[in-house]
A and B are shown apart, each in its own frame.
Chain A
Amino acid sequence: MTDTTLGSTGSGHDWSSPASRRRVKRRYAADRRLQFYGIAAIGTAMALLGVLFVSLIQAGYAAFTTTKVELSIFLDPAAISQEKPGEANYRRIVRDAFKAYFPDVTGRSDERSLYKIMSSGSDYIVRDYVVGNPGKIGENVKILVPVSDPFDQLYKRIIPRRIDALSSDRIALFDALKQQGVLSVEDGAGVAKVSVFIDPAKVPSEGGVAAADYDAMIKDGLRSYFRNEYSRSYEEIISATAAEKLQSVVAADPSVVGKIVEVKLPLAANYDNLLQTGQATIRNPRFGSDVEFAWFDSLEKRGLIATPFTWELFFNADSRFPELAGLAGALSGSLLALLICFVLSFPIGIATAVYLEEFAPKNRTTDLIEVNINNLAAVPSVVFGLLGLALFLNTFGMPRSAPLVGGMVLALMTLPTIIVATRAALKAVPPSIREAALGVGASRHQVALHHVLPLAMPGILTGTIIGLAQALGETAPLLLIGMNAFIPSVENIGLTEPAMALPTQIFSWADSPERGFVSRTSAAILVLLGFLVMMNLLAVYLRRKLERKW
């Protein structure tokens, strides 16, 4: 029976029959579809990644330059002593130097708003410069200090000088009035020709036309143009001086009381601008007055504004002021935590994996351990954070916010990843290596340590680096043990000193109201991504370099 079936399909099949061709065609089509799905999936992933990068770079590139103003300061030996250069009144020195650019600004409140152009950290930047170069005392020096955040954002055109004064619903009301032919420009001023009923009820018997409520009459008059409108915001269109105008009309001819008069009433300033120029803008309310723009422009005109690269982003500690805030604290905190994480998880992870893979008997206990390690790898990181909070902080009384504790928590999280990766790498070493070593008389520990482990090292390193890269980006466990504390100085760096980490720094900046932190946040994300890419490239390099083929 089998013979006949084989014979009929093997030799008797007509490969050129239309049915057969269709089948072959369908198979090729299915092949192509599968390829297409794969490409589409990769394409989608790449496109999403592209969108992420483009949006990050768009938001973040602004943070890589800082708007600075050049101060020329005479370091007066009378004010700054050679012995203690750090203790002079730098606030005064810096302000005087800045004030020298604007000799005609006087008055306390004007001076105060003038100084707001400079970053509040300027005093300390100059102080640090003098302390670093005490030889310059007695000389004229030029120092770049950052401008404050609003002006930085203004110069980078992230926030505008002027914004639309009227929202779209107000413009719609205005357009409705315009369409009824009510608005016109007379003698350079916009007016609305409105029919107003001079209501005798609103003219008091005492005081007569001089004391009448003209405001109410005008509002009633306007109402007739907006019958379907519930909101009374159209009342804004007419200037507040319109009542006086109406009063003068009625005073000139008191006989109109009780009649409807047609009067031309002046428009409110914003609507007047809208009518005459087609647009109405006001100063960005974030700034106190237009003079501030003029001051800033004059600095720019004199060539005193520069936008150098923001080295501060890498070398400054965190700050409440976006123009001064940097990642130094976060970078050192992350580095220390990663160091601890590596020191703990790498040896423990390898020891565990080697034992389980090379020595452990296969029984229920080791099975249980194995299942649990695989489970641990899937536990959400926040759980490790809670464990760290309960165990390390509350039970052992270890310091809050310290990279030591952060590293220990991250090590708990990285351990399973390293164990799993190491076991996979050990499994990939061919049994022939082990057998050959055993064959020439090596003991089991010599086989494992001298032969199998070195050969598995590329895979182990790759797994470790990827585990560490994961740990670098972890936020939740660090938040729980307080590694999101604000630390405005990088003088005390140590394993038990409070510190931030890169992801918690991003978290904290993202929640700050100042506009400069929007771009700072994206810039910090780019720095974090940069580190992740470097670590992953290192993993690829090590694998390529050390990999052995059998």
Chain B
Amino acid sequence: MSKRTVLAAAIVCATAIAPALQAEAREIKIVGSSTVFPYTQAVAEEFARSGGKAPTVESTGTGGGMKIFCAGVGEAHPDITGASRAMKSSEKELCEKNGVSDVTEVLLGYDGLSVANSRKGTKFSVTKEQLYLALAAKVPADGKLVDNPYKKWSDIDKALPGQEILAYGPPPTSGTRDAFVELVFHHVCKKSKEGYWADQQKSLDKAAFKKAYKGDCTAMRTDGPFIEAGENDNLIVQRLEADPKAVGIFGYSFLFENQDKLQALQIGGVEPSMDTIASGDYGISRPLFIYVKNAHRKVIDGMEAFIKEYVSDKAMGDGGYLSERGLVVLPAGKLKEVQDSALNAKKMAAK
């Protein structure tokens, strides 16, 4: 019996490995941000259904995607990476160092971050300053930074509801968290007209001030009112349903899909919607990008066609299938510009 088993195993092994050895032209490989992931998925699917070879799309996070993308040129490296922020100068350097110098930046559109609670709870409006005061680890008081003393929303402003501050949000590894910190905390600290941060800005030079706010205006509080709920935004949605007094921080697409259960907090009196995010009236929105490795364009089968599909009006345009998935599309003029630079492989400006 054992002889036969070994023999059978060997045969199965041989037949299974054989096809693997016939290498063929590989499909398009895409990595990057989990926020851009659903949109790239939709395009990849459309591309595959209309006859192209199905691209492989993997969600690695913006930073992780950049690392793999910038690792080099050649079969083993991905062709496109998605990003929920612009490429950093350190990442550009990494790319250049590894010979990835010809990269096209494609602005896809915008994504809003929503702060929402259950429809059973109180609907209220907050400003970015109030969000900062409610959720930052250290807040200014009497000219210096102190540990966040606020327990209830009404401690910050009497017009806010008298309920405990309780917010569920993404962990530090998430692009959503980066965006929230940058768009709310840093915005407040940089733009404050008076008080601690305004004094710091006056007294420190540019680099020192940047260091100061990157250090002291970035941490979210860890004394209870802010709870990290993991990368899975659906979990936050479920938590909010169970607790009407809690608010959650997540991507707009999750709010869009769960509007029967959740209501958005207005930010500075503005309700998040496709229109307010696109116009920039809604204060917490960020641009989404894909970065295309131009050296691969001619080599990887179907890559030109895939990019054409991605930037087509039918996908990225007003009413296109990406907008149905929750992408806030570019205004017509900007879209035209993006399409031109994407199709003509316009090289991204050096740092």
Contact = CB atoms under 8 A, between A and B. Distances in A.
Contacts of B231: 511
Given A454-B1, A457-B1, A167 B257 contact: no
Interface in A348-367: 350
B57 A485 contact: yes
A95 B259 CA distance: 28
Interface in B309-338: 319, 321, 324-326
B225 interface: no
A485 B56 contact: yes
A401 B58 contact: yes
Contact of A513 (B6, B19, B256): B256
Given A488-B41, A488-B48, A320 B325 contact: yes
Interface stretch (A32-40, A412-420, A491-499, A537-545): A491-499
Interface in A445-489: 449, 453-454, 457, 482, 484-489
Question: Which of B56, B76, B263 lies at the interface centre, i.e. has the most chain A CB atoms within 10 A of its CB?
Answer: B56
Interface string A204-247: 00000000000000000000000000111100000000000000
A495 B232 contact: no
B258 A515 contact: yes
A230 B122 CA distance: 13
A513 B38 CA distance: 9
Nearest to B319: A112
Contacts of A134: none
A511 B233 CA distance: 7
B121 A163 contact: no
Interface in B23-59: 23, 27, 29, 34, 37-38, 41-42, 44-45, 48-49, 53-54, 56-59
A160 B260 contact: yes
Interface stretch (A194-202, A339-347, A427-435): A339-347
Contacts of A317: 54
Interface string B92-121: 000000000000000000000000000111
A270 interface: no
B279 interface: no
Contact of B2 (A233, A404, A449, A484): A449
A336 B16 CA distance: 9
Contacts of B58: 400-401, 482, 484-486
Contact of B234 (A170, A321, A511): A511
A346 B8 CA distance: 12
Interface in B47-99: 48-49, 53-54, 56-59, 76
B122 A169 contact: yes
A339 B119 contact: no
Nearest to B10: A347
A397 interface: yes
Contacts of A496: 20, 23
A198 B315 CA distance: 57
Contacts of A518: 234
B123 A284 contact: no
Interface string A363-402: 0000000000000000000000000000000000100110
A453 B233 CA distance: 51
Given A116-B324, A167-B123, A491-B54, A121 B49 contact: yes
B9 A230 contact: no
Given A453-B1, A486-B37, A491-B54, A167 B49 contact: no
Interface residues of B, number: 62
B56 A120 contact: no
A231 B234 contact: no
A477 to B, nearest CB: 15
B161 A340 contact: no
A512 interface: yes
Interface string A13-42: 000000000000000000000000000000
B12 A286 contact: no
Contact of A339 (B12, B38, B232): B12
B212 to A, nearest CB: 34
Given A347-B6, A401-B58, A486-B56, A513 B120 contact: no
A517 B180 CA distance: 26
Contacts of A511: 34, 231-234
Contacts of A159: 260
B348 interface: no
A307 interface: no
A495 B76 contact: no
Interface stretch (B152-160, B195-203, B298-306, B339-347): B152-160
A512 B38 contact: yes
A442 interface: no
A344 B257 CA distance: 45
A489 B324 contact: no
A286 B120 contact: no
A193 to B, nearest CB: 27
A164 interface: yes
B251 interface: yes
A290 interface: no
A511 B29 CA distance: 21
Interface in B107-154: 119-124, 154
B207 interface: no
A339 B161 CA distance: 59
Contact of A487 (B12, B54, B325): B54
B122 A231 contact: yes
B322 to A, nearest CB: 10
**Nearest 10 Cβ contacts at the A-B interface:** A489-B54, A488-B45, A285-B259, A486-B57, A485-B58, A498-B56, A169-B122, A495-B20, A320-B41, A320-B42
17 contacts: A112-B319, A230-B158, A285-B260, A286-B256, A339-B12, A343-B12, A343-B13, A346-B9, A400-B29, A401-B58, A454-B1, A491-B54, A495-B19, A498-B27, A510-B232, A511-B34, A511-B232
Interface of A: 112, 116, 120-121, 124, 159-160, 163-164, 167-170, 230-233, 284-286, 317, 319-321, 336, 339-340, 343, 346-347, 350, 397, 400-401, 404, 449, 453-454, 457, 482, 484-489, 491-492, 494-496, 498, 508, 510-515, 518
Given A347-B6, A495-B20, 7 more contacts: A167-B263, A230-B159, A486-B41, A487-B56, A508-B59, A510-B232, A511-B234
